[in-house]
Structure 1
Amino acid sequence: MFQSRLLINNSSIQCSNNHTGSEILQIRLDDEYKGSQKLMCSECITNQRGISHVMSFVEATDKIYDLKNQQYEQIVESIRPYKIMLDKQLDILNNLQTRIYELISSLKQKIEDWKTGLNELLLQYCDCDLLKEIDNITLSPNQILEKQQQVDAKNIDSINNTYYYKANEIIQTLKSEIHNWNPFSDEQGKFYNFSIKQNFKQIQTNVPITIKIQEIKQQQSCWAIAFNNSNSIMVAGSEENIKIWNYQNKQFIDSGIILKGHFDYVQCLTFSKTKNWFASSGLDEQIICWNQISINEWQGNKFNNYGQGVIQCLILTKNEDLLISSHDQKIKLWNVNQEFNTITFKQQLEMHKLTVLCICINDEQTFMISSALDNQIILWQKNFQNNWSFKCIINKTVKDCGTRISFISNQVFTWQQKNQGILHIFCFENGEFIEKPELNVKFNLENEQDGSQLFPSIYNKHKQILIIKHQKNVYIMKKDNQNQLKLYGDPIKCETQFNYGAITNDCSYLVIWNLETRSFNLYQLNL
């Protein structure tokens, strides 16, 4: 227990009259006396009989001790919440320090791998295949050099594109970790309490649209989530692994099953609507098909595409006979055989000049749309051989690339631009898709970049609900009586733009993994 110390003891102080050898016995209580003037020894008391407004020295010191102890306890309570906050920030800072070290180490490794990839291009010139080179003997040196320069340029671009994206993802995560750390905020969410403007065309409702019902930690980064058809299983990225969660009675339960096979971050997951089969892909340029063969066992089958580019998106068509993936600027189509857990290459589409970020296909499978970093939206259509072919580049009003694209009917799709919080609407009229600026929807932080192109837009045609993410907010949109999309209720506010989510197939629940809290948050949707 705290005990205040008396800086001057009784034997070392003198009364106001400087009597020597006399112990202080009383103090005057009158305000006109200050400090040592209040002190009285036995001689003072004898000489000044009749003074009644006094207190014994022992009683005074006891009272002073008691008051000092109360003051100490008072300031302890005042300081306590700040010390708790600072201890919490030290823990966060230690975790941040560890996380930054991990990210920088990973970034250094990616850069080393990048250099290795470029150096490997030099190895082809160390050995000379005479029989191969003799075929070019009739060509002039300039022709040979020009031809080889074209091949080398393509190989260099492929390596640079692949490792630039890998490195940039780590850099963006690193920037987010540092940017979102605020040591002076006990509740960061209050800083993002932005109100939706009136011109956001929001559907008013008195019932909360989203209710948070569970939060569960996962320290490993999650870049993709998917549910099986019965919503009893959730598969979620866990950096380069995939974690299986059971979903029962509105709660996630860790199954303890971790699927290993990828050797870099998983960022695409697509689940069958008919059986417990799904496909995964990501930064390691490979696709893995997974089939559940027993309650606790999944069988994986790898399909490597090394050198073909990072896979940005992966979708399964409605009939589940075709898997569509993007590989840098290319789009690949694969025939699917879920029974044998295999895919076989069918077709490759090449028209984009830079990385394809998102792809969508309508339910009738008559239109396929792709959007890429080259700022182009391309329409693809089926030909008489049931293959897909280039149809046209769709005109738009802004020079920007799109990060999310989704059909909300067979002849209407939405396109979210990267550098502004605006959702654009395109309708099929007179044989072509036309942008409808009057139907655009503007989000909070309209003039800010999204920050991460993961977390694809999700449309549920039965509920006519579109889930879409921009910056730190996740929005729920719904068609009104005029069949137009409107913001529905308040957005879900996340602490960071790095958040990734999915909805159950019945559209009853939404789950979001948040980089800031490193946890899954489960929301009940009242639609």
Structure 2
Amino acid sequence: MQKAKMIENEKDFECQHKHDQPILLVVLDPKLDKKQRCQNYRILKNNIDQNMNNLQNITQKTVQQLSICIENIQELKTQLMKLFDSMINIAQDWTQNLLAQCQQFNEYSLYDELDSFIKNQNINYTSNITLINNINKSWKTKLSNNLNQYIQHKDKLNFKQIKEKFINIDCSSLSKNSEIKLNLIDQSFKQNVDCYAIVFDSTGSIMVSTENNDIKVWNFLNGTIKLIKTLQGHTEWVQCLVYSNKQNFFISGAQDNTIRCWKQLDQTNWSSSQPYEQHKNFVRCITLNSNEDLLFSGSGDKSIKVWKVDFNKNILTYMYSLDKHDNSVMALSLNQSETQLISCAQNKNQIIIWERRVQDKFEFKHFVTQSIQEEGLKIKFIKDNQFIWITGGKQIDKLYIFELKEGVFQENQEKTIQLITNNQKPDEYHFPIIYNKERNLIVVRHKTYIYIIIEMNNGKFKIVDQLNCDTIQIYGTITNNGQYLVYWDKKSQAYSTYELLNK
């Protein structure tokens, strides 16, 4: 491990009493010359060395992870070169086969050709065409089989795995304890009707929001919005939205008990699917898996429906229902490995863990035990072994952390966060908890406040900024990169945009 190197020469430092001895203590006095003031030299030097060691440990860890990524890319490069070489070889052999066969066609028997002409037949030509077609068919099959080896064995060309290794490089040690401040960008765009949900596309350039039964699509640039299109289809208020991270495609759920898929056709036009109605009450929450082929929807009918998603065809296919709650399902969240789904309902002690089992079907696992008798309206997995749950009633205003211990999620009371006390109003379920791993950032809207929360190096959580909107009717989200917060609130009846800046 390298040691920190001071650019000044220690021998140049002067003792205040001109003793010409090694420096041990120096005074913090701004009136003294630079060479004569500092703090306890040994303590300062130890602190610098410790900081240097911490930085080098972080760098070394990241370099090791990058080395693994480079090895994976080298393996991918080798597999790609094998694939390309085999395809080129097949194409070249195919070409030689055709040319050799054509060379044979150049030789013919005059007697056979005269005989065929007299009989008014073209047998030789037809048989030659058949032979060429058979050759082409044989080589196409060979080429197809070669490609199928890589399609069927995804581990050979797993671009997604490579991407995830880069994304999951742990830079959290660099960002933890670094606080974030909200900086107002714009608050000029008014909307008189409630907006219950806001989502962004993966690039943060398209924002989608709601207005009563309608859905609005906006251009988003550096914190400012410009309306592109108003989409109509739902017959009651739109309650929730989820945007694809892979395609220009989003899904909406509404008070008309239906779910719709919306696919972008061009810069200004979107196509709606048919309305899908399996729920018998409001669709209150929806979430997609990372592969974006499964949708989970929670409803006032106490059920969670699971759907197969086909973005290309813009359709949903109902699969099955999860039924254990005894009240409206308010929030859903998948853990990072997507082996478990968590849900909470509008009643006390209504947190349920659902587990992925046989044939990837989710099934009931257990109710999560709470230390308090209180309902909660928002829940979110932070890690595979950790989730956040927030109280929703009037009497208790707290954020609870549950962690996996001995196969069961249990409350870690040391990590509980006290929120601003407000026993006059209950919480509102819209505006789900947002977690951004890359920025170590959690955004929580509870009652009249929006909280910015980070995880500290000691594993505990800390509120680093908060915003009072003086209304519980606040609906919003952040961009996928965690740079901007956008919300609509009842008091201002406007969209507000804030930039999240590191202090």
The TM-score normalised by the length of structure 1 is: 0.59
* CA shift for structure 1 position 306: 6.5
* CA shift for structure 1 position 250: 2.8
Q: Which amino acid is the alignment partner of residue 281 of structure 2?
A: G
Distance 1:451 1:364 in 2: 30
User: In the alignment, what sits opposite 2:489?
Assistant: 514
User: In the alignment, what sits opposite 2:390?
Assistant: 416
Q: Which amino acid is the alignment partner of residue 424 of structure 1?
A: Y
* CA shift for structure 1 position 446: 5.1
Q: 2:440 aligns with which of 453, 464, 474?
A: 464
User: In the alignment, what sits opposite 2:461?
Assistant: 485
* CA shift for structure 1 position 326: 1.0
Please state whether the residue corresponding to 1:245 is helix, strand or coil: strand
Tell whether 2:479 aligns with 1:504.
yes
Q: Which amino acid is the alignment partner of residue 523 of structure 1?
A: Y
Q: Which amino acid is the alignment partner of residue 476 of structure 2?
A: G
Q: 2:364 aligns with which of 354, 365, 390?
A: 390
Distance 2:426 2:214 in 1: 26
Tell whether 2:265 aligns with 1:290.
no
User: In the alignment, what sits opposite 1:177?
Assistant: none
Q: 1:299 aligns with which of 271, 274, 293?
A: 271
* CA shift for structure 1 position 464: 1.7
Q: Which amino acid is the alignment partner of residue 231 of structure 2?
A: L
Distance 1:374 1:210 in 2: 33
Query: Is the CA contact (8 Å cut-off) linking 2:207 and 2:217 kept in structure 1?
Result: yes
Q: Superposed, which structure 2 residues align to 1:32-431 within 5 Å?
A: 209-215=181-187, 216-255=189-228, 257-305=229-277, 308-327=280-299, 328-375=301-348, 376-419=350-393, 420-431=396-407
Distance 1:411 1:307 in 2: 31
Q: Which amino acid is the alignment partner of residue 222 of structure 2?
A: N
| Percent pairwise identity | 31
Distance 1:409 1:462 in 2: 13
Query: Would the alpha carbon gap of residues 434 and 306 (structure 1) be closer, same or farther in structure 2, given more than 3 Å must change?
Result: closer
* CA shift for structure 1 position 448: 4.9
Q: Which amino acid is the alignment partner of residue 486 of structure 2?
A: V
Distance 1:254 1:493 in 2: 27
Q: Report Cα offsets for 1:442-461 as digits up to 9, x if no partner.
A: 11125454431111111111
Distance 1:307 1:343 in 2: 14
Distance 2:235 2:260 in 1: 12
* CA shift for structure 1 position 295: 0.7
Query: Is the CA contact (8 Å cut-off) linking 2:177 and 2:456 kept in structure 1?
Result: no
Distance 1:291 1:304 in 2: 15
Please state whether the residue corresponding to 2:284 is helix, strand or coil: coil
Distance 1:227 1:274 in 2: 12
Query: Is the CA contact (8 Å cut-off) linking 1:478 and 1:486 kept in structure 2?
Result: yes
Distance 1:406 1:516 in 2: 27
User: In the alignment, what sits opposite 2:451?
Assistant: 475
Q: Report Cα offsets for 1:453-475 as digits up to 9, x if no partner.
A: 11111111111211001111100
Distance 2:314 2:278 in 1: 20
Distance 2:280 2:233 in 1: 18
Please state whether the residue corresponding to 2:477 is helix, strand or coil: strand
Query: Would the alpha carbon gap of residues 422 and 448 (structure 1) be closer, same or farther in structure 2, given more than 3 Å must change?
Result: farther
Q: Which amino acid is the alignment partner of residue 442 of structure 1?
A: Q
Distance 1:209 1:371 in 2: 30
Query: Is the CA contact (8 Å cut-off) linking 1:323 and 1:336 kept in structure 2?
Result: yes
Q: Which amino acid is the alignment partner of residue 191 of structure 2?
A: Q
Q: Which amino acid is the alignment partner of residue 318 of structure 1?
A: S
The TM-score normalised by the length of structure 2 is: 0.62
* CA shift for structure 1 position 302: 2.5
Q: Superposed, which structure 2 residues align to 1:436-475 within 5 Å?
A: 436-445=412-421, 447-475=423-451
Query: Is the CA contact (8 Å cut-off) linking 1:421 and 1:443 kept in structure 2?
Result: yes
Distance 1:272 1:304 in 2: 18
Distance 1:408 1:289 in 2: 27
Which has the greater radius of gyration? Answer: 1
Q: Which amino acid is the alignment partner of residue 518 of structure 1?
A: Q
Distance 1:278 1:461 in 2: 22
Q: Report Cα offsets for 1:151-194 as digits up to 9, x if no partner.
A: xxxxxxxxxxxxxxxxxxxxxxxxxxxxxxxxxxxxxxxxxxxx
Distance 1:217 1:265 in 2: 19
User: In the alignment, what sits opposite 1:172?
Assistant: none
Please state whether the residue corresponding to 1:209 is helix, strand or coil: strand
Q: Report Cα offsets for 1:78-118 as digits up to 9, x if no partner.
A: xxxxxxxxxxxxxxxxxxxxxxxxxxxxxxxxxxxxxxxxx
Q: Report Cα offsets for 1:229-275 as digits up to 9, x if no partner.
A: 111100000111001110123311122x1000011111100000011
Q: Which amino acid is the alignment partner of residue 460 of structure 1?
A: N
Query: Is the CA contact (8 Å cut-off) linking 1:421 and 1:450 kept in structure 2?
Result: no
* CA shift for structure 1 position 403: 0.8
Please state whether the residue corresponding to 1:385 is helix, strand or coil: helix
Query: Is the CA contact (8 Å cut-off) linking 1:232 and 1:246 kept in structure 2?
Result: yes
User: In the alignment, what sits opposite 2:5?
Assistant: none
Please state whether the residue corresponding to 2:370 is helix, strand or coil: coil
Distance 1:250 1:312 in 2: 28
Query: Is the CA contact (8 Å cut-off) linking 1:204 and 1:488 kept in structure 2?
Result: no
Q: Which amino acid is the alignment partner of residue 261 of structure 2?
A: C
Query: Is the CA contact (8 Å cut-off) linking 1:289 and 1:301 kept in structure 2?
Result: yes
Q: Which runs of 5+ in 2 are unaligned?
A: 1-175
Greater mean deviation of Cα atoms: 443-452 or 420-429: 443-452
Please state whether the residue corresponding to 1:304 is helix, strand or coil: coil
Cα RMSD of the aligned pairs, angstroms, is: 1.6
Query: Would the alpha carbon gap of residues 368 and 307 (structure 1) be closer, same or farther in structure 2, given more than 3 Å must change?
Result: closer
Query: Is the CA contact (8 Å cut-off) linking 1:421 and 1:446 kept in structure 2?
Result: yes
Please state whether the residue corresponding to 2:428 is helix, strand or coil: coil
Distance 1:450 1:354 in 2: 17
Q: Which amino acid is the alignment partner of residue 524 of structure 1?
A: E
Distance 1:408 1:446 in 2: 26
Distance 1:389 1:204 in 2: 38
Please state whether the residue corresponding to 2:414 is helix, strand or coil: helix
Query: Is the CA contact (8 Å cut-off) linking 1:451 and 1:498 kept in structure 2?
Result: no
